[in-house]
Chains A and B, each alone.
Chain A
Amino acid sequence: MKLARAIYAALIIFFLVAPLLVILPLAFTSSAFLTYPIPSFSLRWFEELVVRSVWSRAILNSLIIAGSTTVLATALGTLAALGLRSLGLGLRGQIQTLFLLPMVVPAVVLGVGMQAIFVRVGINSTYFSVIAAHTVIAIPFVLISVSGALAGIDPRVERAAESLGASPPRVFALVTLPLAMPGVLSGAALAFATSLDEVVLTLFVAGPNQRTLARQMFSSLRENISPAIASAAFIIIVGTVLVAAALLLLRRKRA
């Protein structure tokens, strides 16, 4: 019984994790095919990402768009989380549900609607349209993460600061914000990762000039499966890990 459970658990862990591990070594293959076994290791596919403008342009676009999305979503989400906090319980629940809806609504439906209004206003296929679309679906992550951090703050700590002579703005700057910072930073990291990985909305609202890395991967997965995809995946994984690590480090320095 115990052995059966252990084997079952191991099998499922393998099912969950193995696919993620399979793709990483292929980033370094010298072959022109995305298959095992790897004949020898080389960096030719990373070179391809840098040299071929479809890929290098896509990486640059992704950085611009994900960076802007992170800033915008973090600012809007953090402000709203602070506002939600000073609302009564009933109203808070309802508004929070509204704020979390972008996570639930099917991306394709949202994409169709966004394309329609962006076209009507004349801003479709611009950086702005892509950033706005990504920000919409990144906001729930920021909101959840910041709200969680704010809920963890004992309101008495803020009262204490006030009783010790800190005016409300100083209470916010010296107590509330530093204590909420871990939530703000992890919200920012999630927003960045969300934007980096977004494909569906991008299909609808981006033009050829805003083609992101994820969008480029999606089309090459459909058309010609080349190991450049594995290299791009490697970059996405490493990029996400690096951003998370940087934020973690920043947080540790502040504490």
Chain B
Amino acid sequence: MNAGSPPATAQGTRTQCTGGLVADDFISFSKVTKDFGSLRVVEDLELDIAQGEFVSLLGPSGSGKTTLLMMLAGFETVTGGEIRLDGQRINDLPTYKRDMGVVFQNYALFPHMTAAKNVAFPLEMRGTPRAEVADRVARALEMVKLGPFAGRLPIQLSGGQQQRVALARALVFEPRVVLMDEPLGALDKQLREQMQLDIRELHHRLGLTIIFVTHDQDEALTMSDRIAVFNQGQIQQCAPPRHVYDSPANRFVAEFIGETNLLAGKVRAIDGRAITFALPDGSICRARGVPGLAPGAEALLSLRPERIGIGAADAAIDGPNIARGEIADIIYQGDHLRVVIDSSVGRLVAQLGRKDAEWTPGAKVAVSFDEADGWVIAP
């Protein structure tokens, strides 16, 4: 498993999150701050997004991700800093002149207009000729497979259909950016997964720039080119899904995305990208880690459960990255097993395929992991 190039990391309180797929920055936030009264919900935030990129803003509720989207759409004023779109400062540009398609959490369809009227609305606002409006509305509804439902009012449509009307409405006027605020939150799981694929497909086909707010990590991992992980008004890490998962920048990201085992210890030595890590029981292991660690520093070793291997304890293997222990519990989860092990380095959770079902609680085992799968972060 290759950890790839060094990921962007947290640097103190301010997070640099620049450089996407394309060289020029289409949308850029610089030192953006937002206060509600005395409460600071976004602090000195930096984020650059390239044209055609799909960026997810992921974080727990109250982390500032939605506020950031609201500032970009113009629904909230910016307390400090600057937001630029295509080189133009848009801090004080009213929402209706920003040319951004917004898909709202509960769709926010106009309840007194039919699906077609809803979709026609942004075109009419722009003075598009009547014939062209009809044509583009029809095509937009076709695109989201809602052609036959054009004449229905929102209450006559199912949740999924309403969602697709909202999508068509946000896309029909070919906005410069599409903003989505947890657009799939109200749908059931199956429909949500279908919509995730549909939106991804539209993104590729139309070359849209999409900023997508979610608190669902699977959704963010599935859809994004890059994920910006938010906590307490700051971006903790902004990187492609694989980096965020494999090479979390800090403890918050490691714990927020996926599940992980965190073992406290000390950095013994650093040799290029390889880190020698000492665990409290005296054992030594080798792993990769975030840049900026110094030998002798306290640190955490993050081990993803599915990267932990289990072998028979009596096997006469020894060396780094191996600990001995006893299985405390095994939980059957359908497509995999979760194995809880009390080991010499502490309690570990491992995830095994169904084929490894021969283990039973109480068995003495040896656990091991690959050098490239251990990830050391600051405590």
A and B bound?
yes
Q: Is A164 an interface residue (CB 8 A)?
A: yes
In the complex with contacts A165-B99, A166-B96, A160-B125 CB distance below 8 A: no
Q: Which residue of B lies closest to A167 (CB)?
A: B96
In whole angstroms, how far apart are the Cα atoms of A154 and B186 in the complex?
16
CB-defined contacts of A255 to chain B, threshold 8 Å: 112
In the complex, B321 has a CB within 8 A of chain A: no
Contact B108 A160 (CB under 8 A): yes
B110 lies within 8 A of A163 (CB): no
Within 8 A of B (CB), among A38-86: none
CA distance A167 to B122 in the complex (A): 11
A157 touches B108 (CB 8 A): yes
Neighbouring A residues of B170 by C-beta, 8 Å: 164
Q: Is the CB of B112 within 8 A of A159?
A: no
B49: chain A residues at CB < 8 Å are: none
Interface size class of B (residues with CB under 8 A): 20 to 34
On whether the beta carbons of A170 and B125 are closer than 8 Å, the reply is: yes
Say yes or no: A159-B95 contact (C-beta < 8 A), given A164-B121, A164-B122, A164-B125.
yes
Known contacts A163-B73, A163-B100, A163-B102; decide if A157 and B122 are in contact (CB<8 Å). no
- CB contact list, B90-138 vs A, under 8 A: 94-102, 104-106, 108-112, 121-122, 125-126
With both chains docked as a complex, state the minimum distance between the C-beta of A151 and any C-beta of chain B, in angstroms: 14
A235: interface (CB < 8 Å): no
Interface residue B226 (Cβ < 8 Å from any Cβ of A): no
Known: A156-B106, A170-B125. A162 touches B111 (CB 8 A): no
Contact in complex: A164, B173 (CB < 8 Å): yes
Residues of A within 8 A of B100 (CB): 163
A156 & B169 in contact (Cβ 8 Å cutoff) = no
Across the interface, which residues of B come within 8 angstroms of A174, CB to CB?
A: 121
B73 cross-chain contacts in A, Cβ below 8 A: 159, 163
Q: Say yes or no for B75: interface residue by CB 8 A criterion.
A: yes
A171 to B52, CA, bound (A): 30
Contact, CB under 8 Å: B122 / A165: yes
Let me know if A163 and B98 touch, CB within 8 A: yes
Interface residues as binary, A162-186 with B (CB distance below 8 Å gives 1, 0 otherwise): 1111111011001100110000000
Chain B residues whose CB sits within 8 angstroms of the CB of A165 once the complex forms:
96-97, 99, 122, 125-126, 173
A166 to B99, alpha carbons, bound, how many Å?
Answer: 10
Q: Which residues of B contact A171 (CB under 8 A)?
A: 96
Tell me how far the C-beta of A134 lies from the nearest C-beta in chain B, rounded to whole angstroms. Answer: 32
**Residues A179 and B111 in contact, CB atoms below 8 Å apart:** yes
Whether A243 sits at the interface, judged by CB under 8 Å, is no
Using a CB-CB cutoff of 8 Å, which residues 94-130 of chain A contact chain B?
none
Q: Tell me how far the C-beta of B329 lies from the nearest C-beta in chain A, rounded to whole angstroms.
A: 46
A178 vs B117: C-alpha distance in the bound complex, in angstroms?
14
- Whether A244 sits at the interface, judged by CB under 8 Å, is no
CB distance from B110 to the nearest CB of A (A): 6
Give the complex CA separation of A174 and B170 in angstroms.
18
Interface pair B169/A164, CB less than 8 Å apart: yes
Question: In the complex the two chains form, what is the Cα distance from A201 to B179 in whole Å?
Answer: 57
How far apart are the CA atoms of A163 and B97 in the complex, in Å? Answer: 8
- Name the distance in Å between B22's Cβ and chain A's nearest Cβ: 25
CA distance A163 to B102 in the complex (A): 7
In the complex, A157→B100 CA distance in Å?
15
A171 vs B110: C-alpha distance when bound (angstroms): 11
* Residues 64-110 of B contacting A (Cβ, < 8 Å): 73-75, 94-102, 104-106, 108-110
Complex Cα distance, B111 from A179, in Å, reads 8
B residues in contact (CB < 8 Å) with A: 73-75, 94-102, 104-106, 108-112, 121-122, 125-126, 169-170, 173, 179
A-B contact pairs, 28 of them (CB 8 A): A156-B106, A157-B109, A157-B111, A159-B73, A159-B104, A159-B108, A160-B102, A160-B104, A160-B108, A160-B110, A162-B74, A162-B75, A163-B74, A163-B75, A163-B96, A163-B102, A164-B96, A164-B102, A164-B173, A165-B96, A165-B97, A165-B125, A165-B173, A168-B96, A171-B96, A175-B110, A178-B112, A255-B112
